[in-house]
Amino acid sequence: MFLGIFTGIEVLFFMLGVLTTLSVGGLIWLKMNHPVRMNSLSVLGIGLVTIIAAIAWCVSSVLEGEPQAGSMGLMVIFLPGLVITTLGGRLAFQQMK
């Protein structure tokens, strides 16, 4: 798959690790540098975790040869994740002003 060394699922979980690290880092940065409350950060965190879970589900479904499951994952997991992340982001942004 990737450079003929790693399988798709290995690359996926490496990228998920990178995304998780960036998300956690971003949340800590927000907390340390801006007056953002924990409840806003929690909503944002839940949204980010849901989006990461959606990416994991959708890419895995495509890799196992079940694209319909991937499409449904976008609707059922990714979209709610996007809504929650937007909500959390807006709450955090208001507190940063």
Partner 1 sequence: MSMSAENTDQAPVGLSRRGLLKFGVASGSMLLAGQALSANVAAAETGTESASFPVIEHDDFPYPVKPDYKQFHSENNEFVQNHRRNMAKYGQSKPTGIEIDTTQPGFRRFESAMNAAPWSVKRRNTGFSMYCQPNQGEYGWHFKPQGEPYQFESRQLASDVVKRAARLYGADLVGITRQDWRWDYSAHHDFITGENLTWDDFPFKPKSVIVMAFEMDYESLSAGPTQVSSAATAVGYARMQHTAGMLAEFIRGMGHNAVACGNDLGLSVPYAISAGLGESSRMGLLVTYKYGPRVRLAKVYTDLDFFEYDKAKTFGVKSFCERCQRCSDACPSKALSRDEKPTFDAPEGGFQHFHNPGIEKWYADARKCRDYWHESGTDCATCITSCPYNKPDFWQHRMIEKMNSIMPGPLHTFMREMDIWFGFGDTFNTKAVDKFWSPKNRMYDGRA
**Residue 83 is a binding residue for partner 1 (CB under 8 A):** no
Query: Do 51 and 86 form a contact (C-beta atoms < 8 A)?
Result: no
Shortest spacing between CB 2 and partner 1, in angstroms: 10
Question: Which neighbouring-strand residues pair with 6?
Answer: 2
Q: Looking up tokens 């007056």, which residue turns up?
A: 35
Shortest spacing between CB 51 and partner 1, in angstroms: 16
**Residue 89 is a binding residue for partner 1 (CB under 8 A):** no
Q: Give 54 or 84: the residue with its C-beta nearer to partner 1.
A: 54
Beta strand ranges found along the chain (DSSP E) = none
Which residues inside 19-78 make contact with partner 1, applying CB under 8 A? 28, 31-35, 37-38, 56-57, 60-61, 63-69, 72-73, 76
What letter would DSSP give residue 34? S
C-alpha–C-alpha distance, residues 60 and 81, integer Å: 18
C-alpha–C-alpha distance, residues 24 and 18, integer Å: 10
Which residues contact partner 1 (rule: CB under 8 A)? 1, 4, 7, 9, 28, 31-35, 37-38, 56-57, 60-61, 63-69, 72-73, 76, 94-95
